[in-house]
């Protein structure tokens, strides 16, 4: 069994990015600049955004964190988005999800300039991804693809079962795994909360990508031997530690890992890859804008 080490791989990617940033600044340009908007005080979201900002510092990016109160209206957030669209010193930005329920997420995401949409959530970018055209691919699915690529995991002709159909992970990764690409060329089944017998599907799967957010959902009796398991779950489960919680994936790692050819741990698997790929998208946004120099 080989562990798909997202922590190490993401550090490799961040080092590669830092090298590029060094060249950019040494040639007299400003460094790439990523902004993040967060609305409200959700602890997990604040932690994730904090990690994204910290990662910017590590690779030499400029970063801007815009914290807005929970009561922010949809119009106020749209104004903020417009400002970021216009601000020439910002190459890319994200609006951290979920948003408070009084704000319509799609309205906000559709207002983001697709050229600055380093999350790849705008329908233009999602559409381009589906057509295998150059674009920003959202960070979690592209982190999964990058891990599979760097570990040379065979996907062509394999049966891939994706668990969960979220717009951020399940839907895009199910499309990417089926594209005529490597990694890709997989036969994909997208299972979700209305799927009648998930175990029948997972037992036939060569690759399982679980993005349900249900701790320890995937058990060893649901898998065949030699399966590749990618665990996207990051649920906070209360415990007696100092933090008061631990991060638990969708996979019963201890028992499932014995049956796997490859598996991602939680933490240290897909999570760190998400941040690295966001930084990579922002470098792309910077280069697109300065295309005469790069």
Neighbouring-strand partners of residue 245: 238
Residue with the closest Cβ to ligand GUN? 97
Using rule CB under 6 A, residue 119 touches ligand GUN = yes
Residue span binding ligand GUN (CB under 6 A) among the ranges 8-16, 81-89, 93-101, 264-272: 93-101
Task: Report in angstroms how near the CB of residue 176 gets to ligand GUN at its nearest.
Answer: 15
Longest Cα–Cα distance of the chain, Å, equals 58
Applying CB under 6 A, the span of 91-99, 191-199, 212-220, 263-271 interacting with ligand GUN comes to 91-99
The active-site residue, picked from 5, 14, 91, 96, is: 96
Site for ligand GUN contains 139 (CB under 6 A) = yes
Q: Which residue in this structure is represented by tokens 């990694």?
A: 183
Do the bridges between strand 33-39 and strand 62-68 make them parallel or antiparallel, or are there none, so unpaired?
parallel
Task: Please report whether residue 97 would count as binding ligand GUN according to CB under 6 A.
Answer: yes
Which range of residues in 95-103, 170-178, 189-197, 211-219 is near ligand GUN by CB under 6 A?
Answer: 95-103
> Which among 294, 113, 60, 96 has a CA at the least distance from the CA of 286?
294
**Neighbouring C-beta atoms of residue 182, cutoff 10 Å:** 13
> Residues with Cβ < 8 Å from 265, sequence gap 6 or more?
3, 5, 6, 231, 249, 253
Under the binding rule (CB under 6 A), the answer on residue 10 touching ligand GUN is: no
Which of these segments, 56-64, 89-97, 192-200, 255-263, binds ligand GUN (CB under 6 A)? 89-97
How crowded is the C-beta side of 120, counted as CA atoms within 13 Å? Answer: 30
The 263-292 contact track toward ligand GUN, x by CB under 6 A, reads -----------x------------------
Site string for ligand GUN, 242-261 (x = CB under 6 A): --------------------
Instruction: Give how far Cα 200 sits from Cα of 44, 207, 227, Å.
Output: 34, 14, 14
Classified as helix, coil or strand, 57 is: helix
CA neighbor of 228 nearest in space, from 182, 160, 180: 160
- State which residue, 5 or 117, has the beta carbon closest to ligand GUN: 117
What Cα–Cα distance (Å) separates residue 219 from each residue in 33, 162, 171, 201, 258?
A: 42, 15, 23, 13, 11
User: What stretches of 124-177 adopt beta strand conformation (E)?
Assistant: 159-163
Which tokens hold the place of 291?
């295309």
Among 96, 155, 189, 264, binds ligand GUN (CB under 6 A): 96
Note whether 168 binds ligand GUN by CB under 6 A: yes
Size of the site for ligand GUN (CB under 6 A): 9
Interatomic CA distance for residues 154 and 85, integer angstroms: 40
Residues in 21-80 at the binding interface with ligand GUN, rule: CB under 6 A: none
Q: Does 176 bind ligand GUN (CB under 6 A)?
A: no
Residue tagged active-site, from 14, 52, 158, 280: 52
52 is an active site residue: yes
Q: Please report, as ranges, the residues that interact with ligand GUN according to CB under 6 A.
A: 94-97, 119, 139-140, 168, 274
Residues that are catalytic = 52, 96, 119
């Amino acid at each position: 069994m080989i562990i798909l080490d997202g922590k190490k791989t993401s550090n490799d990617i961040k080092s590669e990015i830092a090298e590029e940033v060094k060249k950019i600044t040494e040639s007299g340009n400003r460094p790439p600049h990523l902004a993040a908007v967060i609305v409200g005080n959700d602890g997990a979201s604040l932690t994730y955004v904090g990690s994204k900002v910290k990662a910017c510092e590590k690779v030499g990016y400029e970063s801007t964190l815009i914290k807005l109160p929970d009561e922010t209206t949809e119009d106020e957030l749209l104004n903020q988005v417009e400002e970021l669209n216009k601000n020439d010193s910002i190459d890319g930005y994200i609006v951290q999800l979920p948003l408070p329920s009084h704000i319509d997420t799609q309205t906000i995401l559709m207002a983001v300039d697709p050229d600055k949409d380093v999350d790849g959530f705008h329908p233009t970018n999602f559409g381009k991804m589906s057509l295998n055209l150059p674009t920003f691919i959202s960070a979690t699915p592209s982190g999964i693809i990058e891990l599979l690529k760097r570990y040379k995991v065979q996907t062509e002709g394999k049966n891939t079962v994706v668990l969960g159909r979220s717009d951020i992970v399940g839907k895009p990764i199910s499309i990417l795994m089926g594209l005529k690409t490597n990694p890709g060329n997989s036969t994909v089944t997208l299972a979700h909360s209305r799927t009648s017998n998930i175990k029948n599907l997972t037992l036939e799967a060569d690759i399982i990508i679980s993005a349900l957010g249900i701790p320890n959902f995937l058990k060893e009796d649901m898998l065949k031997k030699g399966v590749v398991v990618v665990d996207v779950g990051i649920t906070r489960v209360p415990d007696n530690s100092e933090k008061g919680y631990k991060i638990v994936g969708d996979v019963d790692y201890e028992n499932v890992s014995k049956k796997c050819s490859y598996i991602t741990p939680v933490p240290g698997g897909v999570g760190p890859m998400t941040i690295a790929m966001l930084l990579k998208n922002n470098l792309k946004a910077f280069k697109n804008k300065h295309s005469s120099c790069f």
